[in-house]
Structure 1
Amino acid sequence: MTYLVTGATGHLGREVIQDLIAQVGADQVVAGVHTPAKAKFLQEKGVSLAAIDYLDVAKMTAALQKIDVLVYIPSKTYDLLQRVTELENVLTAMKNAAVSQIVFVSFYADQENNPFVMSPYYGYAPRRLAAAGLQFAVLKNALYADPLIPYLPELIQRHALIYPVGDQALAFITQQDSALAIATVAAQANLRDHGQIYTLTQQQAWQMPALGRLMTKVTGQQIGYQPVSVAEFGQIYAAEGDGQELASMYQAGALGLLDQVTTDFEKITGQAPETMADFLTKKVHTTTTK
Structure 2
Amino acid sequence: MTITVTGATGQLGTKVVHALTKLVGPTNLKLAVHTPKKAESFSKQGMTVVSADYANYQSLVTAFTGTDVLVYIPSITYNVLQRITEFETSLAAMKQAQVKNLVFVSFFADQESNPFQMSSYYAYVPRRLAGTPLNFAILKNSLYADPLVPYLPELIEREGLIYPVQDQALSFITRNDSAEAIAKVAVTPALRSSGQRYLLSQGENFTMPELGALMSTVTGHHIGYHEMTLSEFAAAYADEGDGDELASMYHAGALGLLNGISDDFAMITGHQPETMSHFLTQNWQN
Same fold (TM over 0.5): yes
Distance in structure 2 (CA, Å) of the matches to 1:243 and 1:38: 28
| Residue of structure 1 in register with 2:36 after alignment | 36
Give the distance between the partners of 2:73 and 2:35, measured in 1 at CA: 16
Tell me what 1:142 maps to.
142
Which position in structure 2 is the counterpart of 1:211?
211
Matched, 1:75 2:75: yes
The one-letter code sitting in structure 1 at the alignment partner of 2:22 is: A
Q: Deviations over 1:89-110 (max 9, x none)?
A: 0000000100011000000000
Does residue 234 of structure 1 match 2:239?
no
Task: Tell me by how many angstroms 1:188 deviates.
Answer: 0.4
Moved over 4 A (4+): none
The alignment partner of 2:9 has SS state of coil
CA distance in 2, matches of 1:15, 1:55: 24
| Partner in structure 2 of residue 58 of structure 1 | 58
**Partner residue, 2:84:** 84
Unaligned residue ranges in structure 2 (runs of 5+): none
Unaligned runs of 5+ in 1: none
2:109 match: 109
CA distance in 2, matches of 1:180, 1:255: 30
Deviation at 1:26, TM superposition (A): 1.0
Deviation at 1:44, TM superposition (A): 2.4
CA distance in 2, matches of 1:265, 1:44: 31
SS of the residue corresponding to residue 181 of structure 1 reads helix
Hey, what's the Cα distance between the residues in 1 that align with 2:90 and 2:156? Answer: 43
Tell me the SS of whatever aligns to 2:198. strand
Give the match's secondary structure for 1:75.
coil
The CA distance in 1 between the partners of 2:198 and 2:41, in whole Å, is 31
Tell me by how many angstroms 1:123 deviates: 0.1
**1:195 lines up with 2:186 in the alignment:** no
Moved more, 35-44 or 46-55: 35-44
Q: Match of 1:222, SS?
A: coil
Matches for 1:1-290 after TM superposition, within 5 Å: 1-284=1-284, 287-288=285-286
AA at the equivalent of 1:37: K
Q: What SS does structure 2 have at the residue aligned with 1:103? A: strand
- TM-score, normalised relative to structure 1: 0.98
Inter-partner Cα distance in structure 2 for 1:123 and 1:175: 22
Of the structure 1 ranges 27-36 and 173-182, higher mean CA displacement relative to structure 2 is found in 27-36
Q: How far apart, CA to CA, are the structure 1 residues paired with 2:38 and 2:281?
A: 32
**Shift, 1:25, TM fit:** 1.4
Q: How many pairs are equivalent?
A: 286
CA distance in 2, matches of 1:133, 1:209: 46
Identical amino acids, percent of aligned pairs: 56
Specify the code of the residue in structure 2 equivalent to 1:46.
G
Aligned amino acid, residue 54 of structure 1: Y
Letter in 2 for 1:115: P
